[in-house]
Amino acid sequence: MGNLTRAMAIGFELILLMAFLYSFLLGFKLTLFDLGLNPKYKRFVRISLMIIGGMILSFLIAHLITFYPRPLLPSPQGG
């Protein structure tokens, strides 16, 4: 049960962090094109932001799995 709770907590935190990251990268993309970047670079910008998002996602997964606290085990003395 404890491992399932830990996995659900990591998944929920990843969803929240990636939603924040998605909105940040989308805002960055829209800002680039509002400031006058030529629309012919739209494909390059999209692919670049997808690569950056994937790198950040893999970083977050690795660190959350490694450093997320494990459930406390009951004491063998029963106390």
pLDDT in tens, the chain (79 residues): 577 888 888 899 999 999 999 999 999 999 988 888 888 989 999 999 999 999 999 999 999 888 877 766 665 665 5
Q: Cα–Cα distance between 50 and 24 in angstroms, integer? A: 12
Give the helix ranges, DSSP H, for the chain.
2-34, 42-67
Res 1: pLDDT: 57
Res 78: pLDDT: 55
Res 70: pLDDT: 74
